[in-house]
Structures are given as C-alpha cells and as structure tokens.
Amino acid sequence: MPLIVGLGNIGEEYRDTRHNIGFMIVDRLAGHISASMEQSDEPFTMGVGRFKGTKTILIQPATFMNNSGKAVLRACRIFRYLPSDILVCYDDVNLPAGKIRLRKDGSAGGHNGIQSIIDHLGTDQFPRLRFGIDKNYPRGKQSDYVLSPFDPEELPIVEDGLKKAEESILCFIREGITSAMNNYN
C-alpha cells in the first residue's frame, strides 16, 4: 500500500504556482484512483483510493513547504509506512519545464521541502518524483519565480509532464520504483 505525497504551499494565493506542482500531481492522481482529498485532523489533506486492487493513500501537507517533513513523518507513523514505501512529488528548477525524473533516494538538492522530510525521517532513503519547472529567473529571484504561475506558453508542456507524472506514479503503485524509473526516466 503506497503513500504518495505531493509537496506545495497551503493557501489560495499559491494554488497554481510552480512550487505547488506536487499538489497538482496528487490532485490529478486522486481523480484517476477515485480518491476524495479531504482535510484531516492531522497536518495534511488526504485521500484514499485504489488502483488495480492496490489501496493507495495520497497526502498533501497542510504545512508550508519548508515544514513538509512534519506531515510526512506523521503520516508514516499513523499508517506504519517505511520511507521506502512513499513517493514524494515536488518541483525542481534543475529540470526543464515538464520533464520528470524518478529516484530511489538522494540528497535534497537545495529543495527545502525535501530537506525537511529528510530531517524528520532521519534518512534520505525514500523514492521521489522530481517535476521540472525550469530555471528561467534572474539571479537572486528564485523565490519569486517558484511562487509564480507557469507562463501561458509553458502550459501545454506542463500538461504533458503531468500526464507522464501520473503514468509513472501508477507504474510505481503497480511495480515499484525500479520499474517506474526504468520506464519513465
């Protein structure tokens, strides 16, 4: 039973921003596996669905990005997940817009949400899906850039990437991270 985590920031002002691509991925997946995302008493929004008979839990931390680890640790404790059972979906400025990369583990790569998860779980040994948002910002303006919406000309590329991200997660649910990496990287 996998746990799929989408990272983002809470609040309407952040809804369609680059930094919230993890939330967007989970929202799409929720529709596909008939999981209704609802606020829980815990520090996350969650939904439960099934794909090809496999029960899957989806969460979106109800913390800001930099405190995502608190919600992920809580979900792991409640549902008795090992770090290797989760897949964290998040934005990456080091990939072109719409490009995805799956990894079994690794460093935070400068991403504060991932660093928070590493700090709370005490390990970097958890699968992740990085979604490219590009690096099209002036020096010193990364924060403004990631908190801005995609440009209209990027939307078709982002839509294609979201479809590929969803397919790769369904592969992860069915066959695990190695198969998802082999088929979608």
Candidate list 19, 32, 111, 120, residue with the active-site label: 19
Instruction: Write the single-letter amino acid at 31.
Output: G
Tokens at 70, concatenated: 């608190």
- Catalytic, 19? Answer yes
Instruction: Write the single-letter amino acid at 72.
Output: V
Which of 177, 175, 185 is CA-nearest to residue 52?
175
**Distances in whole angstroms, Cα of residue 69 to Cα of each of 2, 45, 57, 120, 148:** 17, 14, 17, 5, 23
Tell me which residues are annotated as active site: 19
